[in-house]
Amino acid sequence: MKSAMIFRLLMLAGGLALALLPSFAQAAPPVERVFRIEASSFAYKPGQIQLNLGDRVTLELVSMDVVHGLYLDGYDLSLTADPGQTARLTFVADRAGSFRFRCNVTCGAMHPFMIGKLTVGPNHSFTLAAGLTISAIAIFLLIHPRRASQ
């Protein structure tokens, strides 16, 4: 019984640490970055981009087949590239978190699922959510210890 209680408390501590610790992590200094993103039906290459908070970023979107676009969730930015052309967009990554970017020009059947991911800083959305989930279940088990150990 005692070991079960220790397990649950450790789970709670671990969950809270996972949720909160990334907030105290030392951020890397912002730099200037350029990413070339090749868009072809129905994927971006690279599909995932990692940035530091404060980075000044230029995205170069190159369409490899038909017209493709890129809309960045959270930042509400978009650009469109004609086939063989390069479209550029420069912004400062001043919002931490994980954001999807998606094609904003109908490009074919799987167009609604042409999606990439841009992460600014550590993926705090995930660590926060995972930490909260673990903490929530630990608290649940602490509140209902008898039923859990039936």
Partner 1 sequence: MTRHELTRFPLIKALLKNRWPQLAVYAALLAGFIFAIFAGFVGSPVGNHNFSIVFVWIAWWAMLILAAVPFFGRGWCAVCPIPLPGEWLQRGAILELAPTGKGVSLGRRWPNPLRNIWMQNISFTLVALFSSVILTMPLITAVVLSAMFFLAIGSSMVFERRAFCRYLCPVGGFIGLYSQIAPLELRVKTTRACASCKEKPCYHGSEAGYGCPWQVFPGGLQKNSYCGLCMECLRTCPVDNIAVNLRPFSSDLATPTKRLDEAFKAFIMVGAALIYAGVLLGPWGALKDAAYRIGSGVWFAYVGVFLSVLFVLMPSLYALAVKAGMLLAKTSSAVRPAFAAMSAALVPLGLMFWVAFSLGFVFTNATYILAALSDPLGWGWNLFGTANIPWQPLFTGLLAPLQTLVLIAGMLWSAETAQKVASAAGVRPLPVIIYCLLATLVMLGLLL
Which residues of the shown chain bind partner 1 in the complex (CB under 8 A)? 42-45, 47-48, 71, 73-74, 97-100, 102, 104, 106, 109-117, 123, 125-126, 128-130, 132-134, 136-137, 140-141, 144, 147-150
Whole-number Cα distances in Å, 139 to 12, 14, 79, 87, 125: 7, 12, 45, 50, 21
The least distance separating partner 1 from the CB of residue 117, rounded to whole angstroms, comes to 4
Q: From the CB of 64, what's the least distance to partner 1, in Å? A: 11
| Calpha distance 90→55 (Å, rounded) | 10
> Which is nearer to partner 1, 97 or 121 (by Cβ)?
97
The CB-of-38 to partner 1 minimum distance in angstroms stands at: 10
Structure tokens that stand for 48 in this block? 């995932």
Residue among 46 and 83 whose Cβ is closer to partner 1: 46
Nearer to partner 1, 87 or 127 (CB): 127
In angstroms, give the least distance from the CB of 124 to partner 1.
9
Lookup: tokens for 123: 């993926």
Token pair of 70, please?
A: 């890129």
CA nearest neighbour of 16 among 124, 122, 136: 136
Q: Residue 4 has which token pair?
A: 């079960």
**Which is nearer to partner 1, 91 or 126 (by Cβ)?**
126
Helix (H, G, I), strand (E, B) or coil at 148: helix
